[in-house]
Amino acid sequence: MEHFLEVFTDKANLLGAAVVAALGGVFGAHWQVFALFFVLNVVDFFYGWLKGKQTGTVNSAKGAVGVMKKVSYWVVIALAFGVAQVLIDFGAEIGAPLDFLHLIGWFTLGVYILNELTSIVENLVVLGYDVPEIFVRGLNAARKAVDAAGDRVVPKEDDNANS
């Protein structure tokens, strides 16, 4: 039995290392942030489904739209990081330092993480769970801070400047 547990543990460790290596290879050094976002996607979908069940509004079409919405988040995140990298590479070719554009991908991911957390909290409230007010206010403060930081990196266009 001891040999079986040792073999099982070795294989589990090997599998775990392979998963972490694959995640690191695909998502980079901060793969945990992407894993967190995926977990939040799943948790939000689950609580959204529970809310739909409780309110009698659950149906397969609505669920499919929810899944497509989550997939679309990942597409936008990939585009944000991908376009930023292309522009950074282009900038390097022409001698324009554009490394700050990596922040576009991170800000996009950050906004989506905050959206998922907010949605989970809203679903929990509808389901009747007690959510501490400080957590709700903290999410709102975090959203404002991320938006403000994003505006500093990539300022909003002034509507009057285009006239």
- Confidence (pTM): 0.75
In this structure, the number of other CB atoms found within 10 A of the CB of residue 119 comes to 18
Mean pLDDT for each consecutive 10-residue tract of the chain (163 residues)? 74 66 62 92 94 87 89 94 92 91 90 92 90 87 82 69 51
Q: What pLDDT is stored for residue 37 in this prediction? A: 95
> By three-state DSSP, how is residue 163 classified?
coil
User: Helix %, strand %, coil % for the chain, to 5?
Assistant: 85, 0, 15
Q: Three-state SS for 95? A: coil
Query: CB under 8 Å to 102, separation ≥6 — which residues?
Result: 81, 84, 85, 88
CA pair distance 34, 94, nearest whole angstrom? 32
Residue 11: per-residue pLDDT: 72
How many whole angstroms separate alpha carbon 86 and alpha carbon 89?
Answer: 5
pLDDT of residue 163: 47
Which pLDDT score is estimated for 76?
95
